[in-house]
Amino acid sequence: MFNKKYWTEGVGSYAVAILIALTIRWAFMEAYVIPSGSMLPSLLVHDHIFVNKMVYGVRVPFTEKWLYKAGDPQRGEVIVFKYPENEKIFYIKRVVGVPGDRVFYEDGKLYINDKLVEKKEPNELKEEFNWLRDKDLMSLTKSDVVHWEEQLGEQKYSTLLVKDSPSRTFGPYQVPQDSYFVMGDNRDNSKDSRLWSPDKTFVPRDNLIGRAMFVWLSCDETIPGISFLCNPLTIRGKRFFHNVH
């Protein structure tokens, strides 16, 4: 028999702490780091985010099977998922098409079920746009892009389009059951459902990890050789607890 001190002060206390941490990571939420600019300006490079893993259901521990399924992703939500072409890699994108939707994208215009998703250029640049650096824009500068506001479902968010970009058409795509069509907010610099191989166009529901919640840490630079650790001299304090819309 283990006495009370074993669980509160001894080795048992470490075991309990590890078990609690693993349970939270398995079922409730997990931290991820944004590695690229595909979700600019909504998410910046080196934003550290928490992801709600319970919102779409809970899996049986150490398996891909669902213990139970909860809600389904809605248009406009930002989700983390296993990349359909390589499930060892995690991606983060915005849901633009849910099962049954017809998605069409042409010259910077997004159509859902043959209806144009309206967008407007804001009168003032939002704070997250001011955080952008030219090098985040993948060889572009701020003067090369246009910042738009868009709304899908209940979600209002920002997107970027390259000025005078070549005419491009994608789709139409018919989203199958238990699948989702996703896009990055940096519309001309995102490898998403538009560009994946034809047999991997959609994100299967079984690939879902969770929904992005908020930024808990952010920095301009990480420590060389340790990509997940922020350089404390480059912390972006105003990004802390920034909700992901």
Q: Given the residues 38, 179, 190, 193, select the one marked as catalytic.
A: 38
Contact 182, 212 (CB under 8 A): no
Is 65 part of the annotated catalytic residue set?
no
Reading the block at residue 219, the tokens are 């920095």
Contact 148, 119 (CB under 8 A): yes
Q: Given the residues 42, 82, 93, 179, select the one marked as catalytic.
A: 93
Is 36 part of the annotated catalytic residue set?
no
Reading the block at residue 17, the tokens are 């702490």
Contacts with 226 (C-beta within 8 Å, 6 or more apart), sequence order:
none
Catalytic residues, by residue number, are 38, 93
